[in-house]
Amino acid sequence: ELPTLLAEFMGFYPEVQVSLHLSNHVDLAEDGIDVELRFGPVENENLIVRKLLQVPMVVCASPIYWKKHGKPTQPSQLAQHDALTLIREGVHPVWRFEDKGKPVDVRVNSRMEATEGGPLVEVALHGFGVIYVPALAVQPQIDHGELVPVLQKYARQDMWVSAAYLQRRHNSAALRALLDYLQHRAKSRGRFKREVPPGTVPVPAVAGASYYLIRVHSALDSMTLVERLIREHKVATIPGSAFAD
């Protein structure tokens, strides 16, 4: 979904150049990154964070797995199951849930771990474990009965796709335009929906522990950029943006 949104953005702002990177580790200042898009909490207090989209989480496994091992009725029971987890270097895997608004952490036993969510979804489909992933990553499989969700009332509600950036980077007209565009699109859609061909395993828009890192640049300053595009009728201002009337 993100590449599609970037393509739409470049259509609105043809004077802007975009550089996209996918990485597990980043230092925005050192690496010269304008903005990082990440899924999950942003703990760096030096960054400005703009929440774009709340993403529901889901615990699920294949019907074969649940038939063999039984479905949990409480989050704590997941400690007795085969978990398929994302790699957190030096940290035992812990899944966070909510019970009546309070966080509940469950230390799970990982049968397989990976740096990205896609392989874990594939293994879960074959009946070898339980995954805890963004719902958008597995909705087609749930809809087709290939994966069965459990513990839905306990799923954490604090997971967002967020844009994080340094204060000095926000002075960039191109970055402000990109942030406004992404926020407008997130609000208009409610969630990013994607059409997935039958039989394929979708990868989350922001998968696993990886971050989408973006550099945006325009040789034109803020007002020149906007005025030129409007004058040449190449783009209309986006409703709700910093550049709208």
Which tens digits make up the pLDDT trace of 47-59? 888 888 888 899 9
CA 117 to chain centre: 11
CA atoms in the 13 A half-sphere facing the CB of 187: 12
Identify the CA nearest to 216 among candidates 181, 187, 188, 243.
181
Helix (H, G, I), strand (E, B) or coil at 84: strand
**Average pLDDT of 165-181?**
77
pLDDT at 115 over 60: yes
pLDDT at 237 over 80: no
- Rounded Cα–Cα distance for residues 109 and 75 (Å): 13
pLDDT at 176 over 90: no
- Say if residues 53 and 161 touch (Cβ distance below 8 Å): yes
Q: Are strands 148-150 and 211-217 parallel, antiparallel or unpaired?
A: unpaired
- Say if residues 13 and 235 touch (Cβ distance below 8 Å): yes
- Rounded Cα–Cα distance for residues 138 and 200 (Å): 10
pTM (two decimals): 0.68
Show the tokens assigned to 37.
């898009």
Res. 190 pLDDT band, cuts 50 70 90 = low
Asked whether the CA dihedral 116, 117, 121, 123 is positive or negative, the reply is: positive
| List of residues 6+ apart from 234 with CB closer than 8 A | 14
Mean per-residue pLDDT over the chain, rounded: 77
The most confident of 99-103, 227-231, 234-238, by mean pLDDT: 99-103
Show the tokens assigned to 87.
């790699």
